Each structure stands twice: as C-alpha cells, then as structure tokens.
Homo-oligomer: A and B are copies of this chain.
Amino acid sequence: MGRPTTKDLAKAAGVSLATIDRVLNARSGVRQATVERVHAAIKQLNYVRDISAANLARSKDYKLVFLLPSHDDEFIDTILAAISEANTALLHERTQISVIRAPANDPHRIAEEIDGLSTDDVDGIAIMAPETPPVRDAISNLEARGIAVVAFVSSQPNAESADFVGINNEAAGRTVGQLMARFTGERRGAVLVVTDTMQARDSQERRLGFDAIMAKYAPRLRVLASMETYGDPARTAQIINAGFQANPDIAGIYLMNHDLSETMKAVDAQGAPPECVIIGHELTPEARARLRGGSLDAVITQDVGHLVRSSIRVLKAKMASLGTVASQERIRIEITMRENMPENGAPV
C-alpha cells in the first residue's frame, strides 16, 4: 500500500479525522495526551503530509517577495531574470513571486518597505540589504507577524530568524587569493583591490580571506589597501589612475564587488599589461564578454538561479515548517573561466 494518509493516522491513533486535523495544524482544543498519541502515530507510520493535496484543499498560493536594491546593475538584472524564470517555472506549483525595490544605502526606506508588508499580501520574503539596525528590527517584526524571512546574498548575522542564502564570502576571498597566487606564476609586483565600499560586510569578509591566502602563498606580491569607488564613475577613473601611477609593477587586480564595468573601463584606460591577472565576481554579461575576450581571467560566481530557487525552497519550508534538505541549500563558490563558462542565458 502507498503512503499513509490522515485516515490511517486516525485509525492508528484511535482518534477521529477532526482531531488529526487539529493536531496537524496546531489548532487548539486537543488534550496534551491526545496530541502526543497522534504524534506517536505519525512517527510510527512515518506519515508525511501531502503538501500538494494540502495546498489544493487550502486553495492557497504561496506569495513570495524579493526585496532588492533599487539601483540597476548587471548583477541585479541577472537576479531579476532568474526570478522571472523561477516565476514561470513555479506557476505549476501555486507560487507567485513579486519584487520590490529599495535604495541599498537608505536603511529607513528599506525598513519602511518591509514594515509595509502584511500577511495578506505576503507569506515569505527574501531580503537583499546590508545589515543595519532598522532593517534588523523590521525583520524581527516580520517574524512576529508570521512572515518567513531569508537573507538573500547579503547576510543578516544578527537576525536569527532569517536563514542566509548566499556564499561564504571569506571563502570566496580565499578562493580569489589562491587563483591570484597561482595565475601570477612567479611574478612580483603590486595587487590592486577595488570595491565600491568597505562598509559592506561582504567586502570586509572577502578582503579578509583574500589577504590570508596572499600572505601565505604569495608573499612576493604587494597587496595594496582597498580602493573604494563609492559607485561613482569619475572617482573610479581617478583612483584607478592614481593606483597605476603609484605602482608601475601591477601584477594583479581584484575587483571585489559585483559590478565590474566601470572599474574595467578605468583599467582599460590605463592599459593593463597582458600578463596582469584580473579576477572579479559574478558572471554578468560584461564579465562574460571580457572572459571570452581575455581581458578578465576568472570570476567567482554564485549561481544566481540557484540562489533564487534556494531562497524559494527555504521560504516554503519555513512556511510549512518542514525540514529543508540542508545540503541543497548550500550555495557553491564557483570559479568561472573562459573554458568552463556556461554557454548563455541564466545560469543553472
């Protein structure tokens, strides 16, 4: 015979379907002793709720929201594409995804957006935002209102309720370090490290990992202090220029944030020597083109499609208070070079 159903459960526990239902859905009106009897039966029969049937009966759709930064860059675009792809794929599974945007550097606006969500509109939310006190509070409120939360790409280490879906940024930094150490062969010289801001926790962690490996495996290289662009093209051009002027022996460049177009433009303007090793993050269209053309040596990638789907799975699991297949939700730190670049379109 097939899987046990609620009926089998009722028989095994010696109670009625109504009571099974009350226990399963944590409704009140059941004596503790009975609750335990039902749970014993669940374990004994190895009962698992049929979620399809449950959702069908409830005729409920999962309403999920992704909160993303409001500025547009190629990485965000990739995420949006992955979300829209997931949305079509999940039409079959009673899941609707929407996106809201808030300025990344305005914690109060972000918190406002979060606070504005009601249980009627949203069952779960994936939040991509730097950790700040207002955001942390807003996340706690969500939890209190019974809305599931995951931290998406940027971790929220102090919001316990928010599972993190993203890569280990320190390990990512170490990986870049190892590639930099090996790709530069035996050469000596300076290594530039560029990012938009070192305020972001991600950048700090990446830098930490990178430095550790460089110190250990490539002491021949001088790793310079992080250069911050603040996302400003003019400033970017200027600091890159200054970096090249001050260091005629640049052997490598680490582009630490996920949008490399402005920085690479500035590097192009300076004319980096062909043997200079350049490594960045995220497989954006620009990165793709540059990998193909050879002006970029490798990028560290977090599989955006996987990030999105993983978030959705985690959110659903939290809503259904089911266990998650943990290993499935671990995001890989991927290394992409010209040779192993996926052909096109959204990543796997």
- Chain A residues packing against B (C-beta within 8 Å): 2-3, 48-53, 55-56, 59, 61, 85, 88-89, 91-94, 171-172, 174-175, 177-179, 182-183, 185-186, 209, 213, 300, 303, 305-306, 309, 322, 325-335, 337-340, 342-343, 345-348
Contacts and interface: CB of A to CB of B under 8 A. Distances in A.
A147 to B, nearest CB: 21
B325 A88 contact: yes
Contacts of A305: 327-328
B303 A332 contact: yes
A53 to B, nearest CB: 5
A177 B337 CA distance: 12
A56 to B, nearest CB: 5
Contact of A347 (B51, B171, B300, B327): B327
Contacts of A330: 342-343, 348
A46 B346 CA distance: 24
A337 B178 contact: yes
B92 A328 contact: no
A89 B84 CA distance: 25
A335 B337 CA distance: 9
A333 B328 contact: no
Given A175-B340, A332-B342, 17 more contacts: A48-B92, A50-B94, A56-B56, A85-B325, A85-B328, A88-B325, A172-B340, A175-B337, A178-B338, A179-B337, A182-B183, A213-B339, A303-B332, A306-B348, A333-B339, A333-B340, A335-B337
B89 A325 contact: yes
